Amino acid sequence: MHNQNQEKTRPARELTPNVDIFENDAELLVVADVPGLDPNDIGVHVDLPEFRIEAKVQGSSEMQKPVVYTRTFRIDERIDAERVKAEYTNGVLRVHLAKSAAFRPRRIEVQSS
Amino acid sequence: MLVRFSDRSGFPTFRPSRGLPVSSLRRELDRLFGDLERAPSFAASSTPTVTFNDSAEALTVRAELPGLTEKDVDISVTANTLTLKATRKVEAPEGYATHRRERQGFSFTQSYELPARIDTEKVQASLKQGVLTLTLPKAVEAQPKRVTVSATA
């Protein structure tokens, strides 16, 4: 668990990215603004009920100082940790957290006899 | 006036941005108080972070524009000004219920007076993963010249 009181050994700036969270019958969708990253430097960790986004910008120049984006949520919905998908386009991260099949609403047909 | 700070998205947070400490602090304070004046609607639009850097040969500008593509950005330059326009629309995906809404759309227009004359023909711009990078090469006369001190016997 990420502890706010711990000191950092590296002087990277820590940012809290802005996040939108949406839900439908099938999934929870988390959208985060994390511009300028290499997709390999983005970590999406699902350790239920904790869900964490962590991304690092390796400071390479005067313009781009090292930055760490982190955001941690506690997920109350029933999520299938095996079926989490993430995509990164135009500096926006989208994480699809699929709900466990057993907790998705299922429509029951009423049989007429 | 009653202002209730209920959730994170509504509360005007102090977000130090990159750039010159004094000007960015001032900008943040302006934003903070601007947000308070607009309360309680809290319909504050977020402004992109723009950073300038000045090297001997060129000025470089970096703007964070997550979610934007080339068509959402409009850049124009003169010998000593830069105008940036960027529009971001944030829409909830169809068929989803919204739980949390922090990402904001904006319509951003800002002109900057440049600290050196630039060669407008050689300006380069690229937008990669939501980061706009502009390289504004300085005009030859604005570049530093090394002056050699000649020793007289």
B56: tokens are 């001997």
- Structure pTM? 0.72
Greatest C-alpha distance within chain A: 76
Interface test mutation site (partner B, options A31, A74, A75, A93, max chain B beta carbons within 10 A): A31
**Beta pairing, strands A13-15 & A67-74:** parallel
**Beta pairing, strands A19-23 & A27-33:** antiparallel
Q: How many CB atoms lie within 10 A of CB A109?
A: 5
pLDDT of residue B68: 94
Same structural domain, B61 and B107: yes
Q: What is the pLDDT of residues B27-65, one digit of tens each?
A: 677 666 665 544 433 333 468 889 999 988 999 999 999
What are φ and ψ of residue A61, in 5° steps?
A: -145, 180
The residue to which tokens 């977020």 are assigned? B46
Q: In the 8-state DSSP scheme, what is residue B153?
A: -
Q: Does B71 have pLDDT greater than 90?
A: yes
pLDDT of residue A63: 62
Domain residues for the domain of B59 are: 48-92+102-140
**Which residues of chain A have a CB within 8 Å of the CB of B15?**
15
- What's the domain count of chain A? 1
- What's the domain count of chain B? 2
Per-residue pLDDT band at B95 (split at 50, 70, 90)? very high
Q: What is the CATH number of the domain that holds B54?
A: 2.60.40.790
**Which residues of chain A have a CB within 8 Å of the CB of B129?**
35-37, 88, 90-91
Assess if residue B6 is contained within a domain.
no
Q: What is the pLDDT of residues A25-75, one digit of tens each?
A: 889 999 999 998 989 999 999 988 899 999 988 776 666 678 888 999 998
**Which residues of chain B have a CB within 8 Å of the CB of A31?**
103
ipTM of the complex: 0.76
Region B66-92 average pLDDT: 93
Please name the residues in contact with A12: beta carbons below 8 A apart, sequence gap of 6 or more. Answer: A56, A59, A65, A66, A67, A68
Per-residue pLDDT band at B137 (split at 50, 70, 90)? very high
Nearest to B111 by CA among B146, B84, B88: B84
Same structural domain, B39 and B109: no
What are φ and ψ of residue B101, in 5° steps?
A: -135, 100
